[in-house]
A and B are shown apart, each in its own frame.
Chain A
Amino acid sequence: MPELTVLAVRLSLLYLLIGFALGAAILVNEAYPISARLWSFTKLHLDCLLLGFMVQLALGVAFWILPRFMKGAPRGKESIAWAALALLNAGIVLAGLASVIAIPWLEICGRVLEMAGGLLFLVHAWRRLYASEVICRP
């Protein structure tokens, strides 16, 4: 599989571990209250699992399996997809940490980076979403 997919999937696996570890800590905190501050990690837990794991895994696999071009670079401009991946991860880290230390404007910056990452991946994938001339039976 392409290097971008390898990196995206491995990053998504790391986010999965971090997200589940945070979730486990929050759950244990519910049973045996350790620190009220642990509740502030809820948003980071959500970000890690929804964006870091699920969205990143989907984008990484999409880069691998979407139809390729017959002429030129088979996956189009890969640099756009790399930039999308970088922006998404920068956004997740920034927004996640900002939610923990409670700096709203920094969290908004992180969300903007996440959205820019999503938009850039859309730009990359747009031309790769085309119908096949041969209709395959399911």
Chain B
Amino acid sequence: MSQGNNVAGYHRYDRILLESNRRSLQNRPVGNGESACGMPPITILFVRTAFFYLVAGLATGILMESLSNCGNPVLAGVLLSEYVHMLTVGWLTQLIFGVAYWMFPQNKDSAPWHERVPHFVFYSLNLGLVIRIIVEPLIRLQDAAELGLLLVLAAVLQFMAALGFTIICWSRVRGKRNA
């Protein structure tokens, strides 16, 4: 990876997010002697998206409860899996992924392709989750077997995201002797 691709240690894909981060820092009140240090751009992306899923998940909970009380428990039951996965994968897991990239020490000896993996993990996890949220209820409600391949794609994408996260974090988590 050439130096030109990096801005202060971040991959070139992070440039837009870095710029957005700089703009928000300019608007942030900074007291005397307080340093304005932010978090890696990919963490911001993970955490903001995680909050989106939190709101979406809670909204789905309201919808399920309303459907249940309006005499449509079948539809509410169909949405249960989506509700659970929005909160556990979209919110909790995504928040953990984002904070882990920020918190675990970076490995200076890691291969250049490691820089791309967090972005792959982000898009893979979210694409897989969105496909699942849309397709799974359709298959359950309409028995739309032709959409089955999309559900397989969602499963593969989400597993690949977990694999990518494991590969990156495995090398970052190390004892003092190897640090």
Contacts and interface: CB of A to CB of B under 8 A. Distances in A.
Interface of A: 1-3, 5-6, 9-10, 13-14, 16-17, 19-21, 23-25, 27-28, 30-32, 49-50, 53-54, 57, 61, 137
Chain A's interface: helix, strand, loop or mixed, by majority? helix
B56 interface: no
Given A1-B176, A2-B175, A6-B173, A20 B152 contact: no
Interface of B: 34, 88, 92-93, 96, 103-105, 132, 136, 139, 145, 147-149, 151-152, 154-156, 158-159, 161-163, 165-166, 169-170, 173-176, 179
Contacts of A10: 170, 173
Given A10-B170, A27-B136, A57-B96, 17 more contacts: A1-B105, A1-B176, A9-B173, A13-B169, A13-B170, A17-B162, A20-B158, A21-B162, A23-B155, A24-B156, A24-B158, A27-B151, A27-B152, A28-B155, A30-B151, A31-B145, A49-B93
B155 A27 contact: yes
A119 to B, nearest CB: 23
Nearest to A61: B103
Contact of B175 (A6, A13, A23, A49): A6
A112 to B, nearest CB: 24
